[in-house]
Structure 1
Amino acid sequence: MTDAPVVFLHGTNGGPWTMENFSRYFEAQGYACHAPAYRFHDMPPSEARDAVLKGLSIADYVDDLSAFIETLDQPPVLVGHSLGGLVAQLLAAKGLARSAVLLNSSIINGTLPTTERERRLGKLFISAGAFWEETPGQDFDLLADFGLNTLPETLQHQLYDRLDTESGRVLFEFVFWMYDENQTTKVDIDAVTCPLLFLSGSEDRAVPPSTARAMAARYGDRAQFAEIEGACHYMQFDDGWEKTAQHCIDWLKGL
């Protein structure tokens, strides 16, 4: 078994199940894997779930994960998808990561959209009203267009049916970081001393490669960037995800 444990961090509206393909692949190669749920994300769909999610911040997720990591015997490798990639960067800035793999990471403070499609997505959030005070679910058409666009329609519906609500404040904090008075997603770039691997799906419309590359560039030679041809935002479900998972492991073994 390899040295460092691996902690998988899921995206918005999801849970540890979204990382199962990768975690099982890593486990098969000898890694000790953990996949904690964000606060209250293990609750079933209900009004009670929405009530406790409302108002939660990314900072709450970071606090919970910091406490979890402190229970491990050494700093782990972090593998974060979407919001999980953002959270991984915040944890790395706290010295809580041995290294981090970022799968289509959500943007951090200071990262601007580079495509018209991203700007259109921002406008759609604005049209939803004061979503930061609510617990939004996913819209199938929007999710299929921006996040699941390379996947078969049957699989798109299967994933959509399993995704649940999310704290609107969490969405606001990274989509509209410039208006977040707490600057929740501001990463102390200089404090991140561990190596980072940014993987970006060539067909990701939520955080396209041009935007992901700009985010990775802020870390200089501490970060490597790779574009995964044909992959969408949910790259862990794309055909060929095993090749992507192996790419991560090969990178870790080369450190």
Structure 2
Amino acid sequence: MSPNTDVIFIHGLWIHSSAWQPWLDLFTEQGYVPSAPGWPGDLDTVAATREDPSGLNDIGISEICHHYADLIDGLDAKPLVIGHSFGGLIAQELLAHDLVRAAVAIDPAPIKGVKALPFSQLKSGLPVLGNPANKKRTVALTAKQFRYSFGNALTDEESDALFEAWTIPGPGRPLFEDALATFVRHSPATVDTHTAVRGPLLLTSGTEDHTVPRVVTVAVSKLYADNTASVTEYHEYEGRGHSLTMDHGWRDVATDVLDWLGAKGLAPAVRQTAEPVG
């Protein structure tokens, strides 16, 4: 087995790290050594974090990045990183700083430089951005808000089940930092898309995503276009929404990621063919 088989999964806003468990099981089967550490302030379980989310108050993008950078520093070799939503933004920052060998950013929160702001993205952020006081505290989504932001491509029944299983209150600060990134010179949402010499990056988008619409991820991809020294690729999932890492079709996405890693020479020697289900 390759000695560099560590994979770190980074969750996004409003979702607990334990939602990655099916991915952890699959990647373990394929010979990787995966882990899904939570954000600074997350507690061990969904229930515990819902009961006391105060550790997440005023946690921003920089704190999250430094948290994962410190975890990576304790490893024997640079890992791979796979992030969803804000986790996808963090994954890009870690990659740009050459802390990881490769990154997959699934429906990633926009980095500085993206001008597109579709209505659905604005509406998805309103539970936080609608009140400036939310910048320093956590905010929980309602089931109805989750259906719009995450579960719009699902049945109401599946969306509500995911809401009950995996949602936690999320810190408001990252959303405010991202929303104001264009106007802040040293925004924590800044990623070196132009000159960083780094490992390969895969950006993905669900075409029905309300939280990070397709046009936003396409705009992120274009920011990397002039960086010919490093590989950046883009992939779409037709008809999928922001829940694509944890809904009934998660394995299709995970299998594509495994295949991409294999194509980049980043698979363990013992990796088996992972067939999608359904």
Between 194-203 and 133-142, the greater mean CA deviation after superposition: 133-142
**Corresponding position: 1:70 with 2:73:** yes
Is contact 2:162-2:247 (8 Å) kept? no
The CA RMSD over aligned residues, in Å, is 2.1
1:116-127 mapped onto 2 (5 Å cutoff): 116-121=119-124, 125-127=128-130
1 CA distance for matches of 2:131 and 2:67?
29
Moved more, 104-113 or 236-245: 236-245
Structure 1 residue ranges without an equivalent (≥5):
none
**Residue type of the alignment partner of 1:171:** L
Q: Secondary structure at the match of 2:233?
A: strand
CA-CA distance at 1:63 after TM superposition: 0.9
Given that residues 150 and 230 in structure 1 are in contact (C-alpha distance below 8 angstroms), is that contact kept between their aligned partners in structure 2? yes
Match of 2:148? 145
Q: Secondary structure at the match of 1:191?
A: coil
Question: How far did residue 21 of structure 1 move?
Answer: 2.1
Residue 257 of structure 2 is matched in structure 1 by 248
- The aligned counterpart of 1:105 is 108
One-letter amino acid of the structure 1 residue matched with residue 176 of structure 2: F
- Aligned partner of residue 225 in structure 1, secondary structure: strand
Which residue, out of 147, 166, 171, partners 1:167?
171
Alpha-carbon distance, 1:60 to partner: 0.9
Identity of aligned residues (%): 28
Number of residue pairs matched by the alignment: 254
Quick one: distance in 1 between partners of 2:71 and 2:23? 20
Describe the superposition over 1:74-125 as per-residue Cα deviations: whole angstroms up to 9, x where unpaired: 1111100111000001111221110001111111111122533224445564
> Do the aligned partners of 1:93 and 1:192 also contact (CA within 8 Å) in 2?
yes
Give 5+ residue unaligned stretches, structure 2. 265-278
Shift of 1:28: 1.3
CA distance in 1, matches of 2:110, 2:159: 23
- Contact 1:9 1:36 survives alignment (8 Å): yes
Matches within 5 A, 1:1-255: 1-2=1-2, 3-42=4-43, 44-45=48-49, 48-50=52-54, 52-121=55-124, 125-161=128-164, 162-180=166-184, 182-189=186-193, 190-191=195-196, 193-220=198-225, 222-255=231-264
Verify the 8 A CA contact 2:14 2:141 in the aligned structure 1: yes
AA aligned opposite 2:189:
T
Which residue identity lines up with residue 105 of structure 2 in the other structure? L
Inter-partner Cα distance in structure 1 for 2:120 and 2:53:
32
Q: 1:46 to 1:151 in 2, by over 3 A?
A: closer
Conserved? CA contact 1:14–1:41, under 8 Å: no
Offset, 1:152: 3.0
The 2-side partners of 1:92 and 1:170 are apart by 19
**Alpha-carbon distance between aligned partners in 2 of 1:177 and 1:201, rounded to the nearest angstrom:** 23
Q: Quick check: which one's helix share is greater?
A: 1
